Structure 1
């Protein structure tokens, strides 16, 4: 029985087929990750036989311009690398039988790959479940593990190692990371696309030694972003929206020969959701609420000023669920030229 379980896990993750199936596609139960455009297929799409993740994403998931990117969690927390989704008995049967036919009828497949596929199929066709539980199709669904294709090299992606299993309607799947509103919220976290953090400077990009340089971000650029993840399949209809709100800007001058304002380098969000304050005529000798003073020339080169936004992240989900997720950050760099102040002797 252990051998069969291990065999099923290989099939489930696609490792066995990837190694021994030559030019065949991934194993039937390996699923891809949904996108903002809807379902995304795995690398094999043979007449719909390969299972897909049915989670869809909408909102701030696409590219919002040069320099934009995904939020990075603060600390060691990461969204799930794998999870479990439901599949109807009819769809599960179609995928298993389709993959079985492909492999056993492919002369390129070694005998052990065909045997492994046959053993897995027998478990659901003639074994524990008897013809894929089609006679109980209205009473429940199979739950199948899904891997995030962007983390296939991550050992955590292999922790959802249970074989596809049956769950009666209304029962809670007895596994960690079965899809819930919170799991969807955590997956949506990974899809948050944040705007470029390039700050406005005065003087702009070229400043002088010992001259306070003002830095600010406009409130129209830095506002809340959100992504909604939804799953509507096999009688299960759940969703969650993950929202990130900017709360502070951290400035790192790119050299130790500099001072930041405030001294911590952390510029907090203003009441109007802007950060810092625009420079205005007559403020040249004032201390900026957010900015930098370089103490040494950059010579023939430039300093790499890094601006990182910290985002407060929370979520709300179907059924009134909701809560906080770890803060996230996203930052980019920009070149700053620092020149010596030229004096004229008369």
Structure 2
């Protein structure tokens, strides 16, 4: 259970107590060593969290240098959500556990709050036992990987009841789009170490060719699923590379094409490999440095833009803002040495 940081222990304990009566917050903690039950492919993995949601990472980016995409604009994946969690019997046990807990500041208020909301009819009577088997109490979950994000506190609704298969009219309640947003947050894409010719060292005014092979540049995806009584829903979020942007690391450079945005070729590659006989050509993707890097280097940054789409097992589909991920390479630029005779 997570509570807002407070200036004193008493305030923190009181907030914990209040959560029994109001939002019953679970924190999604991540591990990476559980095999995904429904995917027996080699390397299939799942992130097991303190939640009903599971993440299949078997088609995610691999390797030592992968990272999350950064959404273009102000959109971010959900930092918290609501999901079905407690049966009437489990909610009653939560109340009994509270009654049996040692005395702490705010316990009286927490007990009264639970009694009012779940026992005495405001709005649920006797923990809604009359509907046992027909639904569950939904609770808020915070993504522990986003613990420093203020949006983890957006899900502050008290635990509420929903019948099996019913879509609650609450923002961030689990549905196909919310699941796909959670999957977006776990997308990892490979770094963008591009091939350069000349490799990592070039001359002033000499075009440097840059390219990415199709084999190193492919779609990745993550599937998030919710499988509990009355719910069997999943959504797959896919990131597809669409372009590469070159930032030479200095204003004293010319990029190709102008602006440094290299489009994806029809075969899925970017740019064109350098070969003998191309020295007099302008590279379709590359850079010409106009000044020496002196005793240092220029930090060439290659940023790939990824188009993000999603599809739910219920047939729903949509798009999210594009994501970007970039890495830097050091490039030494030397002056052309002329020999005077």
Give the shorter-chain TM-score range.
0.7 to 0.9
How far residue 32 of structure 1 moved from its aligned partner, in angstroms, is: 2.5
Cα deviation per residue 1:225-256 (whole Å; 9 max; x = unaligned)? 00000010132111000001100000000000
User: Does the Cα contact within 8 Å between 1:34 and 1:54 map onto a contact in 2?
Assistant: no
Counterpart of 2:211 (choices 199, 216, 224) is: 216
Counterpart of 1:121 (choices 114, 118, 123) is: 114
Q: Which residue of 1 aligns with 2:296?
A: 301
**2:113 aligns to what SS in structure 1?**
helix
**1:147 aligns to what SS in structure 2?**
strand
1:254 aligns with 2:243: no
Q: Which residue of 2 aligns with 1:92?
A: 91
Q: Indicate how the Cα distance of structure 1 residues 60 and 253 shifts in structure 2: closer, same or farther if over 3 A, else same.
A: farther
Q: Distance in 1 between matches of 2:58 and 2:111?
A: 43
Runs of 4+ in 1 over 4 A off after TM superposition: 16-19, 24-28, 38-41, 60-63
How far residue 344 of structure 1 moved from its aligned partner, in angstroms, is: 1.4
Counterpart of 2:3 (choices 14, 21, 38) is: 14
1:338 aligns with 2:327: no
Q: Indicate how the Cα distance of structure 1 residues 310 and 60 shifts in structure 2: closer, same or farther if over 3 A, else same.
A: farther
How far residue 140 of structure 1 moved from its aligned partner, in angstroms, is: 1.5
Q: Which residues in structure 2 correspond to 1:140-219 (within 5 Å)?
A: 140-219=135-214
Q: Which residue of 1 aligns with 2:305?
A: 310
Give the stretch that moved more between structures: 144-153 or 68-77.
Answer: 144-153
Q: Distance in 2 between matches of 1:225 and 1:26?
A: 42
Q: Indicate how the Cα distance of structure 1 residues 268 and 331 shifts in structure 2: closer, same or farther if over 3 A, else same.
A: same
How far residue 34 of structure 1 moved from its aligned partner, in angstroms, is: 6.5
How far residue 155 of structure 1 moved from its aligned partner, in angstroms, is: 3.1
Equivalent residues, number: 318
Q: Indicate how the Cα distance of structure 1 residues 322 and 155 shifts in structure 2: closer, same or farther if over 3 A, else same.
A: same
Q: Which residues in structure 2 correspond to 1:243-282 (within 5 Å)?
A: 243-282=238-277
Give the stretch that moved more between structures: 134-143 or 28-37.
Answer: 28-37
Q: Distance in 2 between matches of 1:209 and 1:25?
A: 67
User: Does the Cα contact within 8 Å between 1:34 and 1:55 map onto a contact in 2?
Assistant: no
How far residue 67 of structure 1 moved from its aligned partner, in angstroms, is: 2.8
How far residue 95 of structure 1 moved from its aligned partner, in angstroms, is: 4.1
Q: Distance in 1 between matches of 2:283 and 2:323?
A: 26
Q: Indicate how the Cα distance of structure 1 residues 151 and 219 shifts in structure 2: closer, same or farther if over 3 A, else same.
A: same
Counterpart of 1:53 (choices 51, 54, 60) is: 51
Q: Which residue of 2 aligns with 1:65?
A: 63
How far residue 82 of structure 1 moved from its aligned partner, in angstroms, is: 1.7
User: Does the Cα contact within 8 Å between 1:124 and 1:131 map onto a contact in 2?
Assistant: no
TM-score (norm 1): 0.84
Unpaired runs of 5+ residues, structure 2, are 35-45
**1:184 aligns to what SS in structure 2?**
helix
User: Does the Cα contact within 8 Å between 1:59 and 1:227 map onto a contact in 2?
Assistant: yes
Unpaired runs of 5+ residues, structure 1, are 1-11, 42-51
User: Does the Cα contact within 8 Å between 2:244 and 2:302 map onto a contact in 1?
Assistant: yes
Q: Indicate how the Cα distance of structure 1 residues 216 and 68 shifts in structure 2: closer, same or farther if over 3 A, else same.
A: same
Q: Distance in 2 between matches of 1:188 and 1:131?
A: 37
Q: Indicate how the Cα distance of structure 1 residues 100 and 149 shifts in structure 2: closer, same or farther if over 3 A, else same.
A: farther
User: Does the Cα contact within 8 Å between 2:52 and 2:85 map onto a contact in 1?
Assistant: no
Q: Which residue of 2 aligns with 1:241?
A: 236
User: Does the Cα contact within 8 Å between 1:88 and 1:137 map onto a contact in 2?
Assistant: no
Q: Which residue of 1 aligns with 2:43?
A: none
Q: Indicate how the Cα distance of structure 1 residues 236 and 245 shifts in structure 2: closer, same or farther if over 3 A, else same.
A: same
TM-score (norm 2): 0.85
User: Does the Cα contact within 8 Å between 2:55 and 2:222 map onto a contact in 1?
Assistant: yes
User: Does the Cα contact within 8 Å between 1:249 and 1:275 map onto a contact in 2?
Assistant: yes
How far residue 342 of structure 1 moved from its aligned partner, in angstroms, is: 1.1
